[in-house]
Amino acid sequence: MGWGNIYKRRIRVFTMAIIVYLDYKGVQQREKWTSKSRQAALWEKAHERNAKRVLNLMIEMEGLWVKFGQYMSTRADVLPAAYIRLLKQLQDSLPPRPLEEVYGTIQKELGKSMDELFTDFVNEPLATASIAQVHRATLLNGREVVVKVQHEGVKAVILEDLKNAKSIVDWIAWAEPQYNFNPMIDEWCKEAPKELDFNHEAENTRTVAKNLGCRNQYDGNTNANRVDVLIPDVIQSTEKVLILEYMDGIRLNDLESLEAFGVNKQKIVEEITRAYAHQIYVDGFFNGDPHPGNFLVSKETPHRPILLDFGLTKKLSSTIKQALAKMFLASAEGDHVALLSAFAEMGLKLRLDIPEQAMEVTTIFFRSTTPANDYHKTMKSLADQREKNMKVIQEKMNLDQKEMKRFNPVDAFPGDIVIFGRVLNLLRGLSSTMNVQIIYMDIMRPFAESVLSGYISRGPSVNDKWIFDTPVHSDVEGKLRQLLIEMGNNDKVLGIQVCAYKDGEVIIDTAAGVLGKYDPRPVKPDSLFPVFSVTKGMMHWLVDNGQLNLEENVANIWPAFTSNGKDAIKVHHVLNHTSGLHNAMANIVQENPFLMFDWDECLNHICMSVPETQPGKEQYYHYLSFGWLCGGIIEHASGQKFQKILEEAIVRPLHLEGELYIGIPPGKVYRNPRIIDEFLGSGEYKNLALPSGGFGLGFKRYSSKDGSSVAFGHSGMGGSVGFCDVTNNFSIAVTLNKLSFGGVTGKIVHLVCSELNIPVPDDFSRFMVQQRGPDIARPIIN
């Protein structure tokens, strides 16, 4: 290919891009003067017009541009219908090459004449795609086959197009650093040329067929990870010719024929998805090009997918395979720690600590498919999510608009996951094209779990380092560790931390287990766990600093709170759980629990809520609404975001920048002589709490059975517990990373208190009643 043709191709591509761009900009302007009833038609005509332009250019350019068009044709979830309808012919319906060229390639590659090879050769191709076209034929022994013949000169075209694409991507990365696609194009430059050697494809076909255990006859095997698909046998191959077994099937994009044969489209796409889950997570060797043209459906019952074209494949190392499985499962479990661990293992590095945004992006990556006609809604949802995430990054990095446009949050992107990402997007597009919904979290999970099942040793019976190696501070700690081992062997504990003080001295500081169900790293005393009901003290910090009055009406601090009869609620009513807003968040949990991740939306929900009881009259634990009630008061009383208050009160004074530990290092404890009275609702705060109520100003308060001990604290959602016995100068904290309803922590507190001759409150001693089955005890907070 001469330099003239190279530049001609570049000019054609850039010219078309400018034409399409200006066309759509013009439509945006015309839309302003078009009635709403005609706007949809205006856009449909524009999509039809530009889709034809793109299609004609890709057919003319051939090579890599056809591959790109094939990819676009599968994205029915994000592209207008006109593009899908027109570009899908690029999957297998390109203009065929001349027969003279086809015959010449076959005879040159195989070294024999057509008559010496076949008794019959059908001149009209079954399909013509970007690299080759396929003909049906019959061998001399009578076996029916298909013959895949590479287009003459296509190798030079694709290699040159890759260079051009690399140049374009380099320019984009220089001009707009936040759009650095170099890892993607580098991976393509490495993998795409392999498609041009059909010997490579033949070997890939054999490998995948062996891995999936493909059989031509259905054997009724119902193993959970058994994949029921067909792959043609390889008969012969050279660099440019591939002969495969002929399988009579229906094209996946031939919806009318699928309907006529009674094919269950949902089942077919689910089985294709399972086949790819097996290839990725179990085998670590997968086909990277699952567009509709590379699938057939067998005509005989039971109808099964036929997988074709293994030119573009990807082999994963065991490390990357495990990391991808961990990433998937961490997303399914909402485990931020395991997700960031998976990123690190696969070499994905972020420029800043944004675990929430990383989780949101990953969850979107594995989201369930949507119908093709919902593409407008899907695109808007993705755009809104991206805008929200970029705002978080902008605030965190303190960037102005100009700096933000050039900021790329990804520092290193591993090429190994480029083809993986392409496969998921193609599968999602395939599902939308077929108008079926695929729930990836359900279908792929068993395969991802199988990768890690023998990789993580969770229990102490198989892991001699299950208890983290730290000194034993006391006899009671030694007994506690024996209890933890027993619980671990009974699968009651995944990861746990226990710390206790007596008379100002550390008597227990034990960590055990692993960081997550799919994260084998050991739990250490300073490992971060998610815990609940631990930030109530921030209200008292504001009181002690003169920024908040416990007897102030909340509406005076937070004006929007006034509505719906809440003007009489005081700050101490909120802390004492007598505000009547204990069910304020119930509707949002039932209707859309994901809104609980939107701080401002939840504060608005609190403002619109209606109290169910009169302030100060009845005490009901505000198990869901409490955090937002306190957070709203804190933000409006201080004029700062809650995170800023945390930094001012705890993070900066204790030099914990970038971390917020539940256990504060010795010698750096924030001391307030009135804090006990505030938490208990006693002393000068006695009149602000219900005399017979179970809660002080924030935490639960109670006496032991003999009435000799006054204490406060309780378990949070998930089972972690904080407890302080003021009379006996004793405190203990237990954190868990596996959901528990109080049984685990109750037994631990009971053991430690009993060993120290400290009265055990009823809420903890009740757990010593023999339980059967899983930890289903009633939470202490209820």
SS3 sequence of 199-241: HHHHHHHHHHHHHHCCCCCCCCCCCCCCCCCECCCEEEECCCE
What phi and psi values does residue 277 have, to the nearest 5 degrees?
A: -60, -40
Q: Are 557 and 637 in contact (CB under 8 A)?
A: yes
Q: What are phi and psi of 460, to 5 degrees?
A: -65, -25
Helix (H) or strand (E) holding 446: helix 445-452
Which single residue is written with the structure tokens 């068009």? 69
CA pair distance 369, 426, nearest whole angstrom: 11
Contact criterion met (CB below 8 Å) for 568 and 647 = no
Q: List Cα–Cα distances, 418 to 288, 314, 349, in angstroms.
A: 10, 10, 15
Please name the residue that has the structure tokens 């109670």.
702
Residue from 264, 263, 316 nearest 287 by CA: 316
Catalytic residue among 77, 228, 289, 309: 289
Q: Is residue 703 within 8 Å of 719, Cβ to Cβ?
A: no
Q: Determine whether 289 is an active site residue.
A: yes
Tell how far CA 755 is from the center of its chain.
45
> Can you tell me whether residue 454 is helix, strand or coil?
coil
CB atoms within 10 A of CB 103: 15
449, burial (CB in 10 Å: exposed 0-12, middle 13-18, buried 19+): middle
Residue 197 identity: D
Tell me the DSSP string of 738-750: S---SHHHHHHHH
Amino acid at 782: N
Q: Among residues 68, 342, 343, 13, which one has the least CA distance to residue 185?
A: 68
Side-chain-facing half-sphere of 584: CA atoms under 13 Å = 33
List the one residue out of 346, 260, 334 whose CA is nearest residue 596: 334
What is the CA angle 33-36-42, rounded to 5? 70
Closest CA to 524 of 326, 327, 652, 661: 661
Q: What is the dihedral of CA 331, 337, 338, 342, to 10 degrees?
A: 100
Whole-angstrom CA distances from 683 to 18, 680, 704 are 76, 9, 20
Q: Which residue from 118, 94, 114 is spatially nearest to 104, judged by alpha carbons?
A: 114
Alpha-carbon distances, residue 748 vs 68, 480, 484 (angstroms): 60, 7, 8
Q: Is 675 helix (H, G, I), strand (E, B) or coil?
A: helix
* Residue 452, φ and ψ in degrees, nearest 5: -100, -5
Q: State the DSSP string of 407-425.
A: --SEEE--GGGHHHHHHHH
Asked if 680 contacts 701 with a C-beta cutoff of 8 angstroms, the reply is yes
Cα–Cα–Cα angle for 179, 184, 186, rounded to 5 degrees: 115
**For residues 734 and 745, is the Cβ–Cβ distance under 8 A?**
yes
Q: Give the residue numbers marked as catalytic.
A: 289
